[in-house]
């Protein structure tokens, strides 16, 4: 059912009210919301090659947004490789550090990675789409498997995949956007119940909250906690 709905919706050009109703963004709303992100360190990029232009976005100088961030500590291992859990005498579930030998601790001194992120406008699903690729300390591009170390284990492979970037023309990691409008919609609905309004200009800020839940160790969110 959802699949059919997706197809139907994809043929329609959203109107500005569709943000509140479906979590869709119009190209204009994407541009306005992107302008907000530029106040937080993101940058608009232009596209010169006519073939790589998203013609729905009227301004060739504002085609996609980029940001460079670090990876702080990787999710190399399952968190429970280092932790153990028990119910203590007071009835609390208590987590403790598992005793490890010193060699393991040394391995945790990790090199810093730099990631390049970009956000494009997906014309088919009417939503923003995130792309990323990283380099190690020696500027050497990271392999897919290495980048997966920065992705929450549950989402490796199925959710996060390597695909061709529409403007850059080469492969980058990306999160498939077919459910992005639903997530925006659920944030809008919840805020409404709490008597708040999420404006279309805030769409990309919300979107980055969602990206942060998939890539928690990457410095991508330049905003702070969000009250909805």
Partner 1 sequence: MDSNKRYKDSLSEDQRKSECENIRKNYPDKIPLIIEKHPKSKLEQIDRTKFLILEKLRVYQVNTIIRRKMSLNKVDALYLFVNDNILLRGDQCLKDVYEKYKDSDGFIYLSYCEYSSFGKNI
CB contact set of 26 (below 8 Å; sequence gap of 6+): 13, 14, 15, 16, 18, 19, 126
Per CB under 8 A, 144 contacts partner 1: no
Q: Give the shortest CB-144-to-partner 1 separation in angstroms.
A: 13
Per CB under 8 A, 95 contacts partner 1: yes
Residues in contact with partner 1, shown as a per-residue x/- string from 177 to 216 under the rule CB under 8 A: xxxx-xx--x---x--xx--------------xx-xxx-x
Nearer Cβ to partner 1 (168/208): 208
User: Is 48 an active-site residue?
Assistant: no
Per CB under 8 A, 85 contacts partner 1: yes
What is the C-alpha to C-alpha distance for residues 200 and 39, in angstroms, rounded to an integer?
16
What is the C-alpha to C-alpha distance for residues 213 and 215, in angstroms, rounded to an integer?
6
Catalytic residue among 178, 183, 226, 228: 178
Site for partner 1 in 50-79 (CB under 8 A): 72, 75, 78-79
Residue 21 CA: distances (Å) to CA of 28, 120, 124, 139, 216: 17, 22, 17, 44, 29
Work out whether the CA dihedral 212, 215, 216, 219 comes out positive or negative. Answer: negative
120 φψ region: left (φ > 0), alpha (ψ -120 to 50), beta (else): beta
Three-state SS for 206?
helix
Residues in contact with partner 1, shown as a per-residue x/- string from 150 to 179 under the rule CB under 8 A: --x-xx--xx-x-x-----------xxxxx
Q: Which residues bind partner 1 (CB under 8 A)?
A: 72, 75, 78-80, 83, 85, 87-88, 90-97, 152, 154-155, 158-159, 161, 163, 175-180, 182-183, 186, 190, 193-194, 209-210, 212-214, 216-219, 221, 223-228
Active site residue ranges:
178
């Amino acid at each position: 059912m959802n699949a059919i709905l997706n197809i139907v919706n994809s043929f329609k050009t959203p109107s500005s009210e569709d943000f509140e109703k479906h979590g869709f963004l119009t190209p204009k709303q994407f541009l306005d919301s992107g302008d907000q992100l530029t106040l937080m360190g993101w940058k608009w990029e232009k596209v010169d090659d006519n073939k790589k232009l998203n013609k729905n976005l009227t301004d060739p100088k504002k085609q996609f947004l980029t940001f460079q961030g670090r990876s702080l500590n990787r999710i190399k291992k399952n968190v429970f490789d280092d932790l153990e859990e028990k119910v203590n005498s007071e009835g609390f579930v208590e987590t403790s550090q598992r005793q490890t030998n010193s060699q393991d601790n040394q391995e945790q001194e990790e090199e810093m990675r730099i990631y390049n992120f970009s956000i494009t406008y997906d014309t088919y699903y009417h939503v923003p789409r995130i792309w990323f690729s990283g380099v190690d300390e020696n500027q050497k591009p990271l392999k897919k498997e290495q980048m997966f170390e920065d992705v929450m284990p549950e989402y490796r492979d199925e959710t996060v995949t390597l695909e061709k970037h529409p403007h850059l023309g080469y492969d980058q990691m990306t999160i498939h956007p077919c459910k992005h409008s639903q997530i925006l919609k659920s944030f809008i609905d919840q805020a409404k119940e709490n008597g708040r309004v999420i404006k279309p200009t805030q769409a990309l800020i919300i979107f980055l909250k969602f990206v942060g839940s998939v890539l928690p160790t990457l410095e991508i969110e330049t905003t702070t906690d969000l009250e909805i």
